[in-house]
Structure 1
Amino acid sequence: MTTLLRFLFSAVGLLVACAFVPGLGHGTFLDLLIVAVILAALNTTVGSLLKLIAFVPVACSFGCFSLVINGLVFWLAGALSSRLGLGFTVPGFWAGFFGALVSSVIASVLGAIFIPKDRRRPQGPPPPIKIVN
């Protein structure tokens, strides 16, 4: 259920980004839900690979270069979704950069508000294992 909520929050973030970032276009809300799934898949595969390749610039910029990578992946998601016939369009890198920034902030805020703390992703080291004799 939490995963479905995350995709829903990502689609709402995409809708808000399309409203505030000039140049971004969107179709129906169902199109945005499909784009949210595409974006998650691209972030998992291409985004992780790019962050691994660009480890040195990411480390030297204290992680700020990850914003550039996220913008590129967002731009790629727009190109892929327009080829698939979805109404989501990203005209260039800067629209992708700011679109990724706005949509991730909105999705994170919605997740912090509506997903209970016990259902969120665990942070920090795992709890110690207790061995019972």
Structure 2
Amino acid sequence: MRFIVRVVVNAFAIWVVTLIPALQVTVTPFAPGETLQLVLTLLLVAAIFAIVNSVLGTVIRIVAIPLYILTLGLISLVINGFLLWFTAWITSFFGFGLSVGDFWWGVLAALIISVINWIFGIILRPKEKRD
């Protein structure tokens, strides 16, 4: 259930990022390109992004612990941009999916996606019961 919520929130965040034309991030839905195909493409891209972030992102974050300390955590912006770019690279093989114009636009898009995920994480976090 938690993975599904994460995928839906990521899909929404990717959709928000694609609405900003200056970021050069687009989603190409599979044919014929109707609204349902766009939603399904966003969900598929978000699922791939969540898997890449969970598997590859964890490995990179463990290896880059000294860089996190050295840059006071700012390297996470570059790592998140790389993971978004890598997701776009994976989806390019399918003929539909995510495309990122430039790596640094991907870093900015990943920052916006992270902020949206953080906001939804606060909203959707289960409340603790106090006795």
Q: TM-score, structure 2 length as denominator?
A: 0.80
Higher strand share: 2
Q: Gaps spanning 5+ residues in structure 1: where?
A: 119-133
Report the equivalent of 2:33. Answer: none
Contact 2:23 2:106 in 1 (8 A): no
Report the equivalent of 1:22. Answer: 23
How far did 1:115 drift?
4.3
Q: Gaps spanning 5+ residues in structure 2: where?
A: 30-37
Contact 1:23 1:90 in 2 (8 A): yes
- The structure 1 segments of at least 4 consecutive aligned residues displaced by more than 6 Å after TM superposition are none
CA distance in 2, matches of 1:54, 1:114: 29
Identity in percent? 32
**Secondary structure of residue in 2 paired with 1:83:** helix
Instruction: String of CA shifts for 1:81-114, please: whole Å, max 9, x gaps.
Output: 1212223211221121011111121122123224
The count of residues paired between Structure 1 and Structure 2 equals 118
Q: TM-score, structure 1 length as denominator?
A: 0.79
CA distance in 1, matches of 2:3, 2:52: 16
Report the equivalent of 1:10. Answer: 10
Contact 1:7 1:36 in 2 (8 A): yes
**Secondary structure of residue in 2 paired with 1:78:** helix
**Secondary structure of residue in 1 paired with 2:95:** coil
CA distance in 1, matches of 2:5, 2:60: 27
